[in-house]
Structure 1
Amino acid sequence: MNPYIDIVIRSICVYFFMVIALRIFGKKELSQLNASDIVLILLISNAVQNAMVGSDISLEGGIIAAFSLFLVNFIFKKTVNRSAFLSQLVQSKPEILIHDGIIDFKALSRLDITSDELDEVIREHGLENYKHVKLAMFEINGSISVISGNDNLIQTKHKRIHKSLS
């Protein structure tokens, strides 16, 4: 087999492995990087480099691997945007974290978001605490969007939002 075709096939396999791994390990990992996450990304890139180019350390091999990744990413995004099935498979739906000042603790737990992380995002949006939040959504890209409410929002004790897993 042509060594460059081998690089293309290896690169495409690594790409899809990474897409699946990120889907399994969660979108939160993409939007909230800390030092250990950056180290992980650097180590993963080093680990998969050899899987993509093998023993070929030439400039051409690296360019072919990079081009293959750009091309498969472009095609994959176009395909996902046109296919409802693939879109649902690859991208999860936005989830409500806070509604009218009431925190959905089940959603936070399921998404592995700590109350400290949620508090930080609320403060970043200029609000003092969750009671002032009309709506906080965990978006499909891993970010949390916050819409402020009025000052009269009060949380009812033990009342939580129950979101179905549909």
Structure 2
Amino acid sequence: MNDIGFKMIFDGWAPVIRTLVLGTLSYLALVFLLRISGKRTLSKMNAFDLVVTVAFGSTLASILTSSQVSLVQGVLALGLLVLLQLVNTFLAVRYPKYQALIKAQPTLIFFQGQFLTDAMQKQRVSQEEVLAAMRQHGAAEPSEVDAVVIETEGSLSVLTKNASSLDALDRVGVSTSGSLGRRKDAAESSSR
């Protein structure tokens, strides 16, 4: 094996030691930063959170593999990402218009025995996925379910037959405007 081929496999102990030391220290720094930033930093992800999570991974990889990035630069970059995430969640909690800008709204995709095909197509959810979510929540038949909602981070929530479950739909987007309100009113009056 020539010198160039050997250098691709092992380039000396200095890069190995650098990776071990910086990897350990940057990992500890990231855990510390995430711990002090609170639970919301790593909550179920919406699109913005996914971008931040990918940026965490990319930054950590740069610290580990690039000899041009110092530990201080890397930890500062990680801290900046955490700070931006905190600012983002602060704004989203206090300003509904900002939250609407960065987060998707939950969407009703099944209601009282009917698949809402327009909403399902818009959200790119198949009937089989909705049925699987129903089964996972213990419903053997669609008739046992009042509603299925695709949440902001993409999970499917299943509301089983129960008059109070309809109250959970107050802030859920519906692509068939108006018809949900009439169906909900009818369902509530029949359950009384």
TM tier relative to shorter chain: 0.5 to 0.7
Relative to total residues, which structure has the larger helix share, 1 or 2?
Answer: 2
Alignment of 1:10-159 (within 5 A): 22=47, 45-46=57-58, 56-149=68-161
Q: Please give the secondary structure, in 1, of the residue aligned with 2:130.
A: helix
1:112-150 residue CA offsets vs partner (Å, 9 max, x unmatched): 112222122111101123232111111223221111127
Match in the other structure for 2:176: 163
Indicate the larger mover: 139-148 or 62-71: 139-148
Question: In 2, are the aligned partners of 1:108 and 1:114 still within 8 Å (CA)?
Answer: yes
> How many residues are treated as equivalent by the alignment?
116
Q: Give the 4+ runs in structure 1 shifted more than 6 A.
A: 41-44
Distance 2:74 2:152 in 1: 31
1:62-117 per-residue CA deviation (whole Å, 9 max, x = no partner) reads 11111100011001110111112111111222211111111101111100112222
Partner of 2:158, secondary structure, is strand
| Structure 1 segments unaligned to the other structure (5+ residues) | 1-20, 31-40, 151-160
**Superposition RMSD in Å:** 3.3
Q: Which moved further from structure 2: 41-50 or 69-78?
A: 41-50
Q: Give the structure with higher Rg (CA).
A: 2
Higher RCO (C-alpha 8 Å, min separation 6): 1
TM-score normalised per structure 1: 0.58
Distance in 2 (CA, whole Å) between partners of 1:109 and 1:117 is 12
Separation of aligned partners in 2, 1:60 and 1:44 = 15
